[in-house]
Structure 1
């Protein structure tokens, strides 16, 4: 029998940060991280946009707001301490229609309530001072936003965890969890382990892992693929930093936007289209089990009914580059179809309840010996050290 102090399921940045914070509190712990892939951060962490989020969007007092602001500080400190390149470049959120102005004002006020400083409302002509090729009627300048390679952050955390005598097992998949009186038992396709407690940070598989101990869990992960285009080298001058639209208040995604990555790549996207596989990074990716589970979930058709119009638009933009470009031209009119080439994609693990509500906040489900992080989409990467600290505090206070 393999015994550890704590077992973490999932080697993305949230799982790794949780291990990091546990060891920070007690360096003598023996921790095991179980990862089904051959490396850390192969899914959501490794395929996100690389944006360090400021916390401006989130409802004051929510887990997203609290953890994003605190996690932001921890992330910057970690990067500084470990010589990981990042840049606080700022971003603008741009209203292009009069009807978006109340939402823009609401975002500004949320930012103030969440503790952001230096926010500035920009008049139409002032937008050009920040993004010369961007057009809008009003915008917010958010100086705290930045960029980093979260895979580099994850790699550094992984090395530090192993250097402290803890373990990361790759190519190992959890098949069962049993909560006992004094310990938890984790069964994988290779071994059986025991630990004082188990923390699941399983991302796209989080609901399946959670149902191992919470049979009546009323949420399901619905995968949404986000597709990107790269901006060609000769057209990069159209974008300086990060340009975001005012998000649609009816849809829990930020809309297609422009980003600059720390390695010098400029991107446009992502959209948010229902994926036919939880790891469906290509349009052609179909997993029958994943698709069946999504389609048979009682909440799925309620989502489809609620968001059918927006969903059709996202599908259309997924298959029509021209439609995708038209959405981008609302922000930067000079961007053209020929300026873009196919980029990568990520899949967002979005929790949905059986009433068709998409979870708008981080969701943590607690058991006697197991803690499940069941909804941790954006800004989870920025928030990861704070989420890890929260979980570590919960563990040590039991």
Structure 2
């Protein structure tokens, strides 16, 4: 028997593939509304993998995840769109900054070509190709899209249940006194759990189920807040618009995105949250607009209204930031740590990795 802790996109993929492989699978979810954590509070973007070093897990799993996801969406009639993405240098404060950005965008182009991403192209004067996009240069990446995340989750849960997965909600899993326990958050009853393998896919809380190794290495998840502002209109074309990412952050910067058949959004930014349940909007609209106006002139400040907040599970090891995904084996536990972007795209490939580790 396998117990998966967490019923977001990643936990649901793992449970589904394990059940298909013949395992008896139980999913323990602390929320009443499964998938309302990281999975339900992001941009819903399917990434090409252009940002990541070819030796990284992020690169490997993003590419493989994309390959699995598209046929899966088509087969299961999950709404998605390969709409493409523009990464622009945007407005610069100085000629020195502009020169630095030009160097960085050419590095990004080279990385994309090295990774074999098809169709990428560097444009000068992007505003002549995509009206209202600002900047001197921009990368066009056709192999990027969006997916309707609620439909995606619903399909995975249904397929999982058909394969025999049992989902138990309002169950918080803890480790204490050498055992593993589930606390029913409604009745407060605590029961001890026994399984051949436990899979820790609980995102922000994944470090709380990890026993650090005998060498004293300490993994820690710090919640990083991403705020979204709703836009009162969409750009006149269905394409994602991103800034060139900062070298000092794993966040991709405030960008323009939209939901299928729904609203357009700007976001997310990147700030440290005060807790793992800190979903409060803090950034003033005026400050937020200053980021958006650097990549597009289509909006005025009054076009923005507060949207929603997501939290990234930013991983640290012994106090140092870890830039890559970590899949860590400890006794009969498999821990998934620091699975932020491109976690949504990578999720089916992460599940494949976990199934492979069961052998």
TM-score of the aligned structures, taking structure 1 as reference length:
0.83
Checking the alignment, whether the CA contact within 8 Å between 1:245 and 1:254 is kept in structure 2 is yes
Q: CA RMSD in A?
A: 1.9
The residue number in structure 1 matching 2:164 is: 165
Q: 2:85 aligns with which of 91, 115, 137?
A: 91
Secondary structure at the counterpart of residue 235 of structure 2? helix
Are residue 211 (structure 1) and residue 195 (structure 2) matched? no
The residue number in structure 2 matching 1:297 is: none
The residue number in structure 1 matching 2:134 is: 135
Q: 2:15 aligns with which of 7, 19, 27?
A: 19
Deviation at 1:117, TM superposition (A): 0.4
Deviation at 1:147, TM superposition (A): 0.5
CA-to-aligned-CA distance 1:215-248 (integer Å, 9 cap, x gap): 9441211111111111103xx2356421001111
Partner Cα separation in structure 2 for residue 245 and residue 214 of structure 1? 42
Counterparts in 2 of 1:259-270, with a 5 A limit? 259-270=257-268
The residue number in structure 1 matching 2:287 is: 323
Secondary structure at the counterpart of residue 196 of structure 2? strand
Are residue 7 (structure 1) and residue 3 (structure 2) matched? yes
Classify 1:155/1:212 alpha carbon distance in 2 versus 1 (closer, same or farther; 3 Å). farther
Deviation at 1:98, TM superposition (A): 2.6
Are residue 388 (structure 1) and residue 346 (structure 2) matched? no
Partner Cα separation in structure 1 for residue 154 and residue 196 of structure 2? 26
Secondary structure at the counterpart of residue 103 of structure 2? helix
The residue number in structure 1 matching 2:186 is: none
Classify 1:152/1:331 alpha carbon distance in 2 versus 1 (closer, same or farther; 3 Å). same
Deviation at 1:347, TM superposition (A): 0.8
Secondary structure at the counterpart of residue 338 of structure 1? helix
Classify 1:217/1:38 alpha carbon distance in 2 versus 1 (closer, same or farther; 3 Å). farther
Question: Which moves more between the two structures, 149-158 or 200-209?
Answer: 149-158
CA-to-aligned-CA distance 1:49-93 (integer Å, 9 cap, x gap): 111111110111210000001001111111111000100000010
The residue number in structure 2 matching 1:116 is: 117
Checking the alignment, whether the CA contact within 8 Å between 1:133 and 1:238 is kept in structure 2 is no
Secondary structure at the counterpart of residue 46 of structure 1? coil
The residue number in structure 1 matching 2:271 is: 273
Deviation at 1:320, TM superposition (A): 2.8
Checking the alignment, whether the CA contact within 8 Å between 2:16 and 2:165 is kept in structure 1 is no
Deviation at 1:212, TM superposition (A): 7.8
Partner Cα separation in structure 2 for residue 238 and residue 133 of structure 1? 9
Are residue 254 (structure 1) and residue 252 (structure 2) matched? yes
Checking the alignment, whether the CA contact within 8 Å between 1:177 and 1:213 is kept in structure 2 is no
The residue number in structure 2 matching 1:371 is: 334
Larger helix percent: 1
Deviation at 1:127, TM superposition (A): 4.2
Partner Cα separation in structure 1 for residue 245 and residue 39 of structure 2? 22
State how many pairs are aligned: 346
Secondary structure at the counterpart of residue 355 of structure 2? helix
The residue number in structure 2 matching 1:78 is: 72
Q: 1:31 aligns with which of 22, 25, 31?
A: 25
Could you tell me which runs of 5 or more consecutive residues in structure 2 were left unpaired when the two chains were aligned: 91-97, 184-189
Secondary structure at the counterpart of residue 321 of structure 2? coil
Partner Cα separation in structure 1 for residue 250 and residue 139 of structure 2? 20
Partner Cα separation in structure 1 for residue 296 and residue 175 of structure 2? 50
TM-score of the aligned structures, taking structure 2 as reference length:
0.92
CA-to-aligned-CA distance 1:81-119 (integer Å, 9 cap, x gap): 100010000001001323211111121122122221000
